[in-house]
Amino acid sequence: MADCLFCGIAAGDIPATIVSANSRTVAFRDINPQAPVHVLVIPRAHHANVAELGAAGEALLCDLVAHAREVAVAEGIADAGYRIVFNTGPEAGQTVDHVHAHLLGGRPMSWPPG
């Protein structure tokens, strides 16, 4: 999608620190990390948010979560535990309208979030 920041990162047109990538999803480090491990995992295909991606009824949402799990293992946080967050809509703080899983870990996290 034209003028979409994360489509640009997925295409390699906008620089990012790529953690790993495959034909359907891309993982890269958040530019403003909120935890020792803060990786964003996105589908290459443009969907506005996780609800839209889920409603599309594709296996892509499973691919996205599977990729987040792979990154958690590779980053050494899988056993300690981690958080996967999909901010959805403005009141949840979604600022980029291309679905992205925040993979957060490497420190204890409180619940509920502030």
What residues make contact with Zn ion under the rule CB under 5 A? 1, 4, 6-7, 46, 98
Give me the least distance between CB of 114 and ligand 5GP, in Å please: 14
Distances (CA, A) of 19 to 24, 61, 79: 14, 19, 19
Q: Is 100 a catalytic residue?
A: yes
- From 75, 83, 88, 89, select the one nearest 102 (Cα to Cα): 83
Rounded Cα–Cα distance for residues 84 and 66 (Å): 11
Residue 16 interacting entry, from Zn ion, ligand 5GP, none, C-beta within 5 to 8 Å by type: ligand 5GP
Q: Quick one: what does residue 98 bind among Zn ion, ligand 5GP, none, with the CB cut-off 5 to 8 Å set by partner type?
A: Zn ion
What is the rounded distance in angstroms from the CA atom of residue 60 to the CA atom of residue 54? Answer: 8
Binding status of residue 88 toward ligand 5GP by CB under 6 A: no
Residue of 47, 98, 100, 102 with catalytic role: 100
87 binds ligand 5GP (CB under 6 A): yes
Q: Which residues contact 75 (CB under 8 A, 6 or more apart)?
A: 19, 37, 39, 105, 106
- Nearest to ligand 5GP of 30, 58 (CB atom): 30
Residues in contact with ligand 5GP by CB under 6 A are 5, 16, 28-32, 40, 87, 93-96
